[in-house]
Chains A and B, each alone.
Chain A
């Protein structure tokens, strides 16, 4: 069974700084998808970024980028020029081929301070 581990329960940075959230996963599959979801205080889960395992190029979405290391089974999220609105719980998630389910990590609570 796949597992996803986020080793940083909480992080805090100043506005405009860059922050990196860590995620590791365990799988025997070769083709899969990785995600970062954001859950702000409103509780609504929002997709931040998506990475396909067969693509070597790291995904980027504006200020959000990932560092995908397939051999190391590592998938970190970098937030550049952090903003107050980035304050949220961030979840790393894994979707395997044929699994029909998203497996989530425990989450990292990120606080952006003014």
Chain B
């Protein structure tokens, strides 16, 4: 199994550009989420989804959009990139029931906004 796959792994953007971080999982997980990791701040939740067609905001949702049209995919869109969005982004998934909080993470995507 591939697990959780994120693309791209590295990206450099200019302020104002838009882009989409892709996330796919092949474990039939209902729950998917996006976190950003910044030095000294741990990981903070951006958006999450408990199933296809259902999304909700996390702790730091501003400047990001998500959609969940299938169980497998959960893309994160930056509409107009800002330097404050320079970060490492992680997609994570899990079963909604049974063992809550046990997340499977992707390898991360390092984004730099100039």
Asked if A and B bind, the verdict is: yes
A→B interface (CB under 8 Å): 4, 6, 9, 33, 35, 42-47, 50, 91, 93, 95, 100-107
Find out whether the CB atom of B108 lies under 8 angstroms from the CB atom of A104: no
B→A interface (CB under 8 Å): 31, 33, 35, 40-45, 48, 50, 56, 58-59, 88, 90, 92, 99-103, 105, 107-108
Find out whether the CB atom of B40 lies under 8 angstroms from the CB atom of A47: no
Residue of A46, A95, A106 near B42 (CB, 8 A) is: A106
CB distance from A96 to the nearest CB of B (A): 9
Find out whether the CB atom of A93 lies under 8 angstroms from the CB atom of B105: no
Residue of A6, A45, A107 near B92 (CB, 8 A) is: A45
**18 CB < 8 A contacts A-B:** A9-B40, A33-B101, A42-B107, A43-B88, A44-B107, A44-B108, A45-B92, A45-B103, A47-B103, A50-B102, A93-B101, A95-B101, A100-B50, A101-B45, A101-B48, A104-B42, A106-B42, A107-B40
Smallest CB-CB separation from B109: which chain A residue?
A: A43
For the complex with contacts A101-B48, A102-B45, 4 further pairs of A-B residues with Cβ separation under 8 Å are: A33-B101, A45-B105, A104-B35, A107-B40
Question: Contacts A43-B88, A43-B108, A45-B92: A102 and B42 contacting too (C-beta < 8 A)?
Answer: no
Find out whether the CB atom of B42 lies under 8 angstroms from the CB atom of A33: no
Question: Contacts A43-B88, A102-B103: A91 and B42 contacting too (C-beta < 8 A)?
Answer: yes
